[in-house]
Amino acid sequence: MDNNQNKVDIWETLVSKLSHDFIPGERLDIKGILFLIGVQELGKGTQDFIKEDKIDLIHIGVCKVLEPYGYYAFSHHDEHQWPHFKLLKNLPHMTEAAQENLMREAIIKYFEIP
C-alpha cells in the first residue's frame, strides 16, 4: 500500500471514529473536527457555545494542530481560561487541496498516541 493510500485510510478511520463518537449517523468535516479539538484544548467540556465562540474554538483547533509545524505557539490563557496562540510564521501560499492535505495530516498527528 502506498503512503498516500495509507494516509487516506488513516484519515477515514479517524473521521469515522470521531463521527460515531460525537454525532452518530452523520459525518464530521474538517471544521467539525477542528471544533472538537478546540473544545478539548479549552478543557471545559461540552456546552452550548455562541457562534463567535464556535469560530474561536475552530481557530484554537487550527492553532493547536499547526503548532508542531512551527506556525503557532501557545501564548497564554486569558481571564476566562481560553488559550491564545501567537503566529510564528505565515502559512505559505498553497492551493485549497494542499491546505486540506496539511490540515488532515496535522489533525492525524494531533490524535496520534505518543
Report whether 64 contacts 37 (CB < 8 A).
Answer: yes
What is the three-state SS of 12-76?
A: HHHHHHHHHHHCCCCCCCHHHHHHHHHHHHHCCCCCCCCHHHHHHHHHHHHHHHHHHHCCEEEEE
Contacts of 14 (CB under 8 A, 6+ apart): 33, 107, 108, 111
Tens-digit pLDDT string for the chain (114 aa): 466 778 788 999 999 999 999 888 899 999 999 999 999 999 988 788 999 999 999 999 999 999 999 999 999 999 999 999 999 999 999 999 999 999 999 999 999 865
Residue length, the chain? 114
**The whole model's pTM is what?**
0.89
